[in-house]
Amino acid sequence: MREIPFIYPLKRDKGLRMYASLFSIALGSILGGWLRWFVGLKLNNLYPNIPMGTVFVNLVGGFVIGFAISYFANANISPNYKLFIVTGFCGAFTTFSTFSLEVLTLIQEGKLMVALSTIAIHVIGALIFTFLGMMSHHWLTQS
């Protein structure tokens, strides 16, 4: 009998692992997406030119993914935790597509310098916060 992926896994353990992975990603995505939406509601109107909710989630997401990757590099735990945090939560919480739309909208409104500032804040900020996340994990594990 030919194996049909996701529907009838012939190898029970492999199939269960796949379902656990899919569930981990889905749950992380739900939580990350909800939190991103909530942060956008609370912060996007604080500053008229730059949607601070998007900036916030991209910076915090950079920190979380940096910390998580450093932690998971030496952790002896199920890979589903990494899928939950990195692929699911951070993938839904951070948002490159929204960032792109917001920058293009600023350009269309003739706000080129604000658009360039937004790009710099997101890209440089995310790199810095990812590094800080990695360093935080390193610092906490050196104690």
91 labelled binding-site residue: yes
Q: What is the pLDDT of residue 37?
A: 97
pTM metric for this prediction? 0.74
Query: What is the average pLDDT across 27-51?
Result: 94
Mean predicted lDDT score pLDDT of the chain = 88
pLDDT(60) > 90:
yes
Helix (H, G, I), strand (E, B) or coil at 53: helix
Which long-range contacts link 124-128 to residues 24+ away (Cβ below 8 Å)? 125/55, 125/58, 125/59, 125/62, 126/58, 126/59, 126/61, 126/62, 126/94, 127/62, 128/62
Beta-sheet strands, E only, within 20-126: none
The mean pLDDT of 38-55, rounded to a whole number, is 91
Name the residue with higher pLDDT: 77 or 31.
31
Share of the chain above pLDDT 70, in %: 91
Mean pLDDT (whole number) for 102-109: 92
Overall average pLDDT of the 21-38 stretch:
97
Is the model's pLDDT at 63 over the cut of 70?
A: yes
